[in-house]
Structure 1
């Protein structure tokens, strides 16, 4: 089910067959298979109402945000679309609740690592055995896409693999598979040629290094903090002084491939419905919705804002943005608390690293309140995991 949510193979098959997936509706076969999976998850939750009850009890920010999404039907520019998307997001959220209470964090990490090892391994095989499928054409000739529809999708999962496999190397048991996964992630990052994925991967590496240093030399944390701020400030100054050269070296222009003009164009639309937004999924409707005006102004056809925070404002207004930030902050604080109490471990590395990954990633893509979206699933799972009381996981989670 995780592989389906990742968008592995089926969208690529549609694209190669000349019948690409609609960016707004998605793939019908994938939706049907996921619907069957969600039905099974609901049945399992109903069989164990304690899971569902604890999910409701601990997930207040999530359920308030979900309720606001359903209420947005009342003012949405496309009420039917909004209701359908809100219901689909709720199903994805319930799957995240189930995973949080069904598996311990370490078990979930192993499940995710196994899935990533499978999809990255298949992607590597597709590049060399089926290059017509595994390599992109114009305008990204030769870039790896593996079993995914685009190089950026493959690159992001490779960056995620860096975090997951590093965390798994800190867990008990055999390490050979996770070392292979880490090496495979690095090779695929190079082959995918995705600049944003490289930024994510290096961010993950710096987070891992910072967590290890802070725990190893915890008596010197003020010095390390000052050192980190100095390095960060110096790096920021270097980037500011050389950003045009660096972006050119990465194959980007100085406006992040048109994203900055897009973001500036969206600001008046956000201001028009500042508090409520256009309803979940009510803005980006192609030529049938408010997005048509944006497309005319920017000269291309973005399917979303390429920024999760702006998209949340467009969907649910400033109220929705504040609720989304509440959810993210709660996850972040809970992850840091786990780290301070439990030390540097595979679990805490994954939790803190995932928080940073999601915060950074939402500056270039949209992952808030997205149905069948792995990163939204992560946010729900993470919030449920970190807010469980200490010792609750051992009493509730069922051993595999």
Structure 2
């Protein structure tokens, strides 16, 4: 074929690809995310609640997380078929895509290529399920679904204890369907973030929401986790501050916290942070925990960081170091050296960033933090918008609360790699990206109208 013919063929192929992309966008634009009060919203709420339970790795109900993920994929297929006339294709969040792309890229230097490919595939599946849920529901519906999932976790955990499937811990705390009270605690803290972000408007809706919130808080109390006990009131206070800080929305007016009030709030937070930095033992005394070494985690973190050596930037490969309960890595020298230097063995890094460090290094950590930053950026866009919509407000609150919850629980648990933590973060990233696009589009329309 001549050079001119090749150029013509390339132009024709490009034109066809662009035309197909335009048709996909038009097809997607004709379908709106499920809003509160619609039948498809109710179906998605039940599906999201079920997915939340499965992503929490309910070992009391299923033998391992791979079985739970298979069930989650089945649930996703079912909800897609049920809501097929309204189904929206998910758009990949750029920060999520970058993180997973780098995780897959670590195959090139991984200490176990097979494990890195398998781990990447697993987290991509979780991300696609989360993005699909975010694309097909308004943020309030998403929040209600996760709230329902949190209630289901509490009920199932209590049922497991009553039936003897999972007896209470030696000190009398509720172990939960994840067979560990700390797992139950951070699971319910994540559910609390979503519950606090969206308060129903109807009377009966608020009654059910209040009962659900009380159930989740009761589950956190029964779990007896020090981190969750500290995180829950902090999240509630931040949620109240967010609701009091907004101006008029539509036809309703919300009270706005004065500058003096904000000064008082930040002063208290800074004073508390400074006090705990100087005297971390005070938190331990308050909660009955060892906060100086965070129940022995600090020496293990130090040993992990010392093991990075020349892999500080890129790590040893995604999914290749830790014997995670949800996807245990094969025996390897990296973990053996961490265990030897620390003097004791843990199944993971017990911190979101420490868990990432030996797997994807500093580059992967920065990519992960970019996902959180994307959610907070959407919050800033909403708060600066002259007329944000009610669902925009819910997204803004959810982004702040979810990031805060992931950070607080991520101090002592690897929420960055725990399937449920990754699932919740990607859902937040999905709705945040959509809200950012909608806010920018509304702003452009307003500027064109004014000109």
| TM-score of the aligned structures, taking structure 1 as reference length | 0.82
Query: Partner residue of 2:199?
Result: 169
Q: What root-mean-square deviation, in Å, do the aligned CA atoms of Structure 1 and Structure 2 show? A: 3.1
- CA–CA distance in structure 2, aligned partners of residues 368 and 12 of structure 1: 23
Query: Partner residue of 1:182?
Result: 213
1:13-52 aligned within 5 A: 26-37=64-75, 51-52=89-90
Query: Partner residue of 1:214?
Result: 245
- CA–CA distance in structure 1, aligned partners of residues 82 and 366 of structure 2: 32
Query: Partner residue of 1:296?
Result: 340
- CA–CA distance in structure 2, aligned partners of residues 339 and 149 of structure 1: 41
Query: Partner residue of 2:185?
Result: 155
Shift in Å at residue 177 of structure 1?
A: 1.9
Shift in Å at residue 106 of structure 1?
A: 1.5
1:237-256 aligned within 5 A: 237-240=274-277, 242-253=279-290, 254-256=292-294
Deviations 1:5-59 (A, max 9, x none): 1223xx1257xxxxxx6xxxx445324434545666899999999624xx14xx2
Change (3 A) 1:3 1:282: same
- CA–CA distance in structure 2, aligned partners of residues 219 and 252 of structure 1: 35
Query: Partner residue of 2:362?
Result: 318
Aligned with 1:111 (options 145, 151, 159):
145
Shift in Å at residue 279 of structure 1?
A: 0.7
Higher relative contact order (CA 8 A, sep 6+): 1
Is 2:434 the partner of 1:362?
no
Is 2:311 the partner of 1:281?
no
Change (3 A) 1:39 1:281: farther
Deviations 1:375-397 (A, max 9, x none): 2112112112112221799xxxx
Query: Partner residue of 1:258?
Result: 296
**Where in structure 2 are there 5+ consecutive unaligned residues?**
1-50, 247-253, 323-328, 442-451
Deviations 1:63-90 (A, max 9, x none): 1221111111110011100000001111
- CA–CA distance in structure 1, aligned partners of residues 52 and 270 of structure 2: 38
- CA–CA distance in structure 1, aligned partners of residues 295 and 56 of structure 2: 24
**Where in structure 1 are there 5+ consecutive unaligned residues?**
15-20, 394-400
Change (3 A) 1:46 1:85: farther
- CA–CA distance in structure 2, aligned partners of residues 251 and 390 of structure 1: 47
Aligned with 1:331 (options 354, 371, 375):
375
Shift in Å at residue 211 of structure 1?
A: 1.1
| TM-score of the aligned structures, taking structure 2 as reference length | 0.73
Change (3 A) 1:381 1:163: closer
Query: Partner residue of 1:17?
Result: none
Contact kept in structure 2, 1:41 and 1:98, CA below 8 Å: no
Aligned with 1:382 (options 425, 428, 431):
428
Shift in Å at residue 251 of structure 1?
A: 3.3
Structure with higher Rg: it is 2
The count of residues paired between Structure 1 and Structure 2 equals 371
Shift in Å at residue 185 of structure 1?
A: 2.0
- CA–CA distance in structure 2, aligned partners of residues 82 and 73 of structure 1: 6
